[in-house]
Chains A and B, each alone.
Chain A
Amino acid sequence: MSFVKLTASAIAIAAVSATAASARDQVQVAGSSTVLPYASIVAEAFGENFDFPTPVVESGGSSAGLKRFCEGVGENTIDVANASRKIKDKEIAACAEAGVTDIIEVRIGYDGIVFASQLDGPAFTAFEPADIFNALGAKVLKDGELIDNTYTQWSEFNADLPAADIMAFIPGTKHGTREVFEEKVLIAGCEATGAMEAMIASGMSEDDAEDACMSVRTDGKSVDIDGDYTETLASIDANPNGIGVFGLAFYENNTDKLKTATMSGVEATTETIASGDYPVSRPLFFYVKKAHIGVIPGLKEYAEFFISDDMAGPDGPLAEYGLVSDPELASTQAAIEAEDTMQ
């Protein structure tokens, strides 16, 4: 019976797999979708230049990646987690509980966050954090009073901005980008408009005031995008008045559809981000399981290759794609060489 043969071979395959599962020979990476392009460029070049197979890079977001990273030590867990934010203490604790104690933190460079709109849309050319906060904050200061946000047009609080309906597409809470957006734009805007002061004056503690500053309006004028930047781009395409939050590298690949606005008077370029003049930028990281070094072939070489001058340096392919090179690359290289773990 051919069925019997088929079943027998299927069982044989499963049996082979059970033994072969302990012989993984390529590095597995998962995490931030912002870091994914850079990681894939490195992985490809790594496969070309070394005898190791090309590492596998999955996306899914910083938090999802770190969660999988912290599932434990062993060959069916990932070796490297990409993150567009620093690992949280809570995550380090979760890692330690699962036996992942020695983690090497690697900062690969910086990434700028830009506010972009349709190329032919309203003239959104210059923003201040205060403008974004006034447009999107849940509670804003209007005529000296703290009220629920009722602004409908940008020109209502800043005469220099166009009289266009407020519509913003911001990264959802599972994205590392959201955190930077909250910290460097919303809270900064909250402080600049005086709303923070008013909140504290009304009896809130400083932490509560910060939380209140970070909450965005829920009347549909601010839309959380949980998918990738392509989803934000599609939303902007459909909404001439829409403002979207993008990574600099994504914007640079789509300059035929988008234009960016300056933030606090500074245009987002690799130079202004490297010098720190452009306010909304964040470091990008990846985290390596030290226990896997020496077990998974090529893991340390991959980490070293990632931040080598050839790749992550100011003239390397990562910078060409949009990464802002880290001026302290040399010390990171030394740290990986020595396999320094986080404390």
Chain B
Amino acid sequence: MSDFTADNGPAKGDAKSSLFHETTRTKRRNAAETRFKAYGIAAIATGLFFLVALLVAILGNGLPAFKQTFVTIPVELTEAKLDKNGNRDPADLAKVSTFGYKPVVTAALVSALKAEGIEIPFAKEEDVEDILSSSVAAQVRDTVLANPDLIGETVDFRLLASSRVDGYFKGRVTRDALVRDKNLDAEHLDIADAMVAAGLMKTTFNADFIFGSDASESRPEQAGIGVSMVGSLFMMIVVLALALPIGVAASIYLEEFAPQNKWTDLIEVNISNLAAVPSIVFGILGLAVFIQIAHLPQSAPLVGGLVLTLMTLPTIIISTRASLKAVPPSIRDAALGVGASKMQSVFHHVLPLAMPGILTGTIIGLAQALGETAPLLLIGMVGFIASNMPDGITSGFLDPNSAMPAQIYEWAKRADPAYYERAWGGIIILLVFLMTMNIIAVLLRRRFERRW
């Protein structure tokens, strides 16, 4: 007791605790609060800093992928080379391979350069062809096969420039670096500069990057994300068609009808556990069950969709149950009170009120599935796969295809640095999709959510 008074002695000398005078204790408490606020602001600032750094890196690295250098030259489609028999028979025309078309395009480039008075400093004039992408022969061949009447005429073609020339105009390739590069010489860049001056070469927006198909390692300039975007779309259709009805049915039963016993407890615990299972595990499961036992085709978006369905289900079930729980019991009681059956009360009253929450959860689950790569690694959706645009609904589900994140992963692995740029560009497109989906989810919630 004496200690107590001794301790409080000096405090008594101070002014009494009042709102106008801060005591040391109040000061300390206020200081602690200020510090805590500062920590919070620091945490948010750190988060914002990383977000900005990430966005700057993504945009800085990825935006160049949306532009591409094109060469526009007239190509003389010589009959002697492309149709030796002169009968325009499609079977004969198809026998001339892309290797037969290559010299035709190279000759066109050489004559276009000569017509503009651009000097070719190579011993062999054909060496200038390194300026062009190796895809040009196929492009010209496809045009001729589609329209054989063009043979014998001179047609203007807009051709892709090679990835290194393209990189030069985007600042990725420098003359110094080319000294040790055997794919292109500094002289090619001199010609490229002259071609830009003469209006033969131009760097413009590249729609093929968004809508095109994957290309092989030797032609990054031709690669696009379009086919894998379609692959992702078909997978999302499968996920939506399976995960939404199964997930909603399961949660309605668990939330509204199921008796409270050990079994339902066990199921509930396991659904929560399932939501935390790493996605690669679902990939292994998918490989074993869908491909090796059920004999579904490899690399098919159908299988990818099934695997992602397994992954998305817990997310949908958990969010659906949460939104069902949020509907006040008075609604159910009122419905039952006026004589509705249990099922009528659920489907006529509870479910419509819970719908915005369910849809939000579904969209977020879909967005999560859209960005998933790991399970797709195991079911053969990563590699040089997204090369054919599916030609129908069945082929869209069953023919080998990739998905957007898998395509980005694949590009990031490839040797040519031009593919690295494409990977960043792909990230931009994927982020646009994810942000759109999240914005839709937010809008749905804002527009329809009711609070009691």
* Docked-complex contact A56 and B415, CB < 8 angstroms: no
Instruction: Annotate B379-417 by CB proximity to A: 1 below 8 A, 0 otherwise.
Output: 010111101100000100111100000000000111111
Question: Counting chain A CB atoms within 10 Å of each CB, which of B217, B240, B302, B415 scores highest?
Answer: B415
A36 interface contact, C-beta 8 A:
yes
* Docked-complex contact A39 and B295, CB < 8 angstroms: no
Residue of B nearest to A13 (CB): B397
- The complex places the Cα of A47 from the Cα of B388 at a distance, in Å, of 9
Query: Within the complex, what minimum Cβ distance (angstroms) separates B346 from chain A?
Result: 13
Query: Within the complex, what minimum Cβ distance (angstroms) separates B92 from chain A?
Result: 14
Residue of A nearest to B246 (CB): A7
B98 interface contact, C-beta 8 A:
yes
A187 interface contact, C-beta 8 A:
no
Residue of A nearest to B167 (CB): A256
Contacts of A40 in B (CB 8 A): 216-217, 384
A-B contact count (CB 8 A): 155
Q: A7-B242, A49-B98, A255-B180 are in contact. List 17 more A-B contacts (CB 8 A).
A: A4-B245, A6-B245, A17-B296, A36-B383, A37-B414, A45-B138, A48-B98, A48-B138, A54-B388, A59-B382, A76-B295, A78-B298, A228-B413, A252-B183, A259-B180, A317-B134, A317-B218
Residue of A nearest to B95 (CB): A49
The answer, among A57, A230, A249, for a CB contact under 8 Å with B384, is A57
* Docked-complex contact B384 and A36, CB < 8 angstroms: yes
We find that the number of chain B residues with CB closer than 8 angstroms to chain A is 57
Query: Within the complex, what minimum Cβ distance (angstroms) separates B238 from chain A?
Result: 7
B123 interface contact, C-beta 8 A:
no
Mind listing 24 A-B residue pairs with CB under 8 Å? A3-B244, A4-B245, A6-B244, A13-B238, A13-B302, A13-B397, A18-B296, A20-B394, A24-B297, A28-B380, A30-B383, A41-B218, A43-B216, A43-B384, A44-B216, A47-B387, A56-B380, A56-B385, A59-B382, A76-B296, A254-B415, A255-B177, A255-B181, A317-B134
Contacts of A71 in B (CB 8 A): 292
Contacts of A17 in B (CB 8 A): 296-297, 300, 302, 397-398
- The complex places the Cα of A278 from the Cα of B143 at a distance, in Å, of 44
* Docked-complex contact B299 and A56, CB < 8 angstroms: yes
A229 interface contact, C-beta 8 A:
yes
Which of B142-161 touch A at CB < 8 Å?
A: 142
Interface of A is mostly: helix
Which of A55-83 touch B at CB < 8 Å?
A: 56-59, 71, 74-76, 78
Instruction: Annotate A244-272 by CB proximity to B: 1 below 8 A, 0 otherwise.
Output: 00000110111110010000000000000
A53 interface contact, C-beta 8 A:
yes
A200 interface contact, C-beta 8 A:
no
The answer, among B238, B302, B394, B415, for a CB contact under 8 Å with A249, is B415
Query: Within the complex, what minimum Cβ distance (angstroms) separates A91 from chain B?
Result: 19
Contacts of A151 in B (CB 8 A): none
Instruction: Annotate A9-34 by CB proximity to B: 1 below 8 A, 0 otherwise.
Output: 11001101110110010101010010
* Docked-complex contact B182 and A252, CB < 8 angstroms: yes
Query: Within the complex, what minimum Cβ distance (angstroms) separates A5 from chain B?
Result: 9
- The complex places the Cα of A57 from the Cα of B386 at a distance, in Å, of 10
Which of B252-301 touch A at CB < 8 Å?
A: 291-292, 294-300
